Structure 1
């Protein structure tokens, strides 16, 4: 099944079934993309938020964004910080063509707006996969091609939507790649590769600002993963509020987390929630927020 939204704030999926298969839909949407031409970076950000089409291919237990994702039938790889689009897309394409795997690669709406290669690859899978299987496939492909990808959909939110190709004046020089003369990636064979040599495909230690950071050789505790979600919402709530299944739920969670971790500092809690709320394109009103604080402070504990 195909689950679509217009922008990231839509709470309910537009659901339909493509008789030719999920990947066929992705290929067609890449061939005939949306266009947002002659727009500034700020205008593109607004378009991305409210109008660009986002998709999830697979199966959801319901039609609401809060509902559980049972499985996914297209694997997405997001690349944000590599050298440039032509070289990075070629490396990905060469790998996937070598396996004769159906795929598309296209520049994201941020390509040539933000620095570095900004691209997304969609890979057809021969069956629906769980979150654990998705992570294994993603790891094998990224390790094989020697690239670092955005791991949000594999480590934080399996229900994350991916943006379809939007042609802009900024990214128009970077043509998408559509490889439709092949086969879906054989899931069981690639999972077997991971299971045979798990250490080979786990993410390696990265050097960030001079510090050594372990990224994947051991599983982070639940509290650490949860804290990562809170920090993501503090930095960019519009992109991450569905980690808490809705804007109001996100504000409630951020407030409770701040209150607890500041040992009940009311002022810091209020200022933090207000600041996060203001980062939204459609923030809740001050009067509604005040009412919520009256309720929250009665039940929050430190």
Structure 2
């Protein structure tokens, strides 16, 4: 199934009607939204949170988007951001590696030729996959494509929704693709290939080793870092994130540093990350409160 919504809403995801019961065909019929290229971060957030449509393809047990309610995914989404090689080279790699499979490729909101090349790749899978298999496929495709890019940490979150195609004054120059006359991507075949990749073993989360503390007189910074890595229980995530942001602000860290740190902590050290919207709204609330001297 295809589920759509916007980020900044408490309304449940909407189930989209498909003409042929193929999730991938949704992209063939979809009419992109049009937006002006964001002039600054505030305008970008406004578009992303309140106007731009997002999508999840797969099976949800409840229409409220989170990792618990998302049972499986039917399409694989890869964000290719901040491409650090010529755009023509990136395109050539995708065409070569995915020539035999159905895929869609479209520019994202901040796409600008040469200066800021950003695309979203959508691959049709031959079966729906769970969270573990989805992460393996993400790793394997990134490795296989060999594109020099900036990794978006949101790809690690199973229930992370992706923005649908859009049009700006710059995307008219981008190279969109919708290849629908090939094969669907054989999940089980490639899971075996990817898991036999030596880099996959290195990339997998390793069992936490046992360490004996070598500090009997732990300083504030050491205790704080330990707490960040320890994370929080599922039921206490929001309060925990709020407290950590407040602690970083209280010691004078730059706002950019605080936000980047809390995003990394959220994605890597919580049993189930909060959504980008929840993290940003908490960060924004705390920075306003801090600026008032509260």
Q: Give 1:72 shift.
A: 0.4
**What is the aligned partner in structure 2 of residue 9 from structure 1?**
8
Q: Give 1:84 shift.
A: 4.1
Count of residues paired in the alignment: 246
Q: Give the SS at the match of 2:127.
A: strand
Q: Give the SS at the match of 1:117.
A: coil
Q: Give 1:46 shift.
A: 2.0
**What is the aligned partner in structure 2 of residue 135 from structure 1?**
135
**What is the aligned partner in structure 1 of residue 102 from structure 2?**
102
- In structure 1, stretches of 5+ residues that fail to align are 204-215, 231-243, 291-302
RMSD: 4.0
1:36-72 CA deviation, whole Å, 9 max, x = no partner?
Answer: 1466345344222211111010012201123521110
C-alpha distance in 1 between matches for 2:136 and 2:280:
34
- In structure 2, stretches of 5+ residues that fail to align are 210-224, 260-277
**What is the aligned partner in structure 2 of residue 253 from structure 1?**
240
**What is the aligned partner in structure 2 of residue 88 from structure 1?**
90
C-alpha distance in 2 between matches for 1:255 and 1:63:
26
Question: TM-score normalized by structure 2?
Answer: 0.68
1:219 paired residue among 203, 206, 209: 206
C-alpha distance in 2 between matches for 1:186 and 1:278:
35
1:67-98 CA deviation, whole Å, 9 max, x = no partner?
Answer: 5211100001111122243331331122111x
Assess if the C-alpha contact under 8 Å between 1:78 and 1:149 holds in 2: no
**What is the aligned partner in structure 2 of residue 167 from structure 1?**
167
**What is the aligned partner in structure 2 of residue 188 from structure 1?**
188
**What is the aligned partner in structure 2 of residue 209 from structure 1?**
none
Question: TM-score normalized by structure 1?
Answer: 0.67
CA distance 1:61–1:227, shift in 2 (3 Å): farther
Assess if the C-alpha contact under 8 Å between 1:107 and 1:165 holds in 2: yes
Assess if the C-alpha contact under 8 Å between 2:124 and 2:184 holds in 1: yes
Q: Give 1:175 shift.
A: 2.5
**What is the aligned partner in structure 2 of residue 60 from structure 1?**
60
Assess if the C-alpha contact under 8 Å between 1:107 and 1:119 holds in 2: yes
**What is the aligned partner in structure 2 of residue 73 from structure 1?**
74
Q: Give 1:177 shift.
A: 1.0
C-alpha distance in 2 between matches for 1:281 and 1:143:
34
Assess if the C-alpha contact under 8 Å between 2:136 and 2:191 holds in 1: yes
